[in-house]
Structure formats: structure tokens, C-alpha cells
């Protein structure tokens, strides 16, 4: 579920955990998942620089 985009806080609640620390023990992103995350990040930065939406930082 984490690799499909469910954030860890939500995933922890779904699984009945009080903390994301328990979920972190079991979530191990693959190299492909990390690569795709970086590509999404870079695309969002490019859109921000093009003025398509404001930066949040």
C-alpha cells in the first residue's frame, strides 16, 4: 500500500498501529519506487518553477 502512495500515517491507522514507527519496520521501498518518487518530485519542482503552482517552502 505504501508503494501505491498511501502515506505512512494513514497506513498505520488502517493497520491499527498507534505510530508510523511500526509501519516503518515493514515498509522497504524498492529502488524503482525511490526512482519514481524522485521523478515525481523533479516534475513538481519544474511545474513550480514554470509558475504552474506556488512552492510550499
Where do the domains of the chain lie?
2-49
What pLDDT is stored for residue 55 in this prediction? 57
Q: How far apart are CA 45 and CA 39, in angstroms?
A: 10
Sign of the Cα torsion 35, 40, 9, 6 reads: negative
For 17, 18, 53, the CA distances from 39, given in Å and listed in that order, are 30, 31, 17
What pLDDT is stored for residue 35 in this prediction? 94
Asked whether 24 and 8 are in contact (CB, 8 A), the reply is yes
Give the global pTM. Answer: 0.59
What pLDDT is stored for residue 49 in this prediction? 87
What is the full per-residue pLDDT of the chain (57 aa) written as tens digits? 888 889 999 999 999 999 999 999 998 989 998 999 899 999 999 998 888 766 565
Asked whether 11 and 2 are in contact (CB, 8 A), the reply is yes
- The 10s digit of each residue's pLDDT in 9-21 is 999 999 999 999 9
Amino acid at each position: 500500500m505504501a508503494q501505491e502512495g498511501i502515506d505512512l500515517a494513514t497506513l498505520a491507522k488502517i493497520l491499527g498501529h498507534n505510530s508510523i514507527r511500526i509501519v516503518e519496520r515493514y515498509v522497504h521501498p524498492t529502488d524503482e519506487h525511490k526512482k519514481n518518487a524522485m521523478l515525481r518530485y523533479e516534475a513538481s519542482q519544474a511545474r513550480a518553477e514554470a509558475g504552474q503552482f506556488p512552492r510550499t517552502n
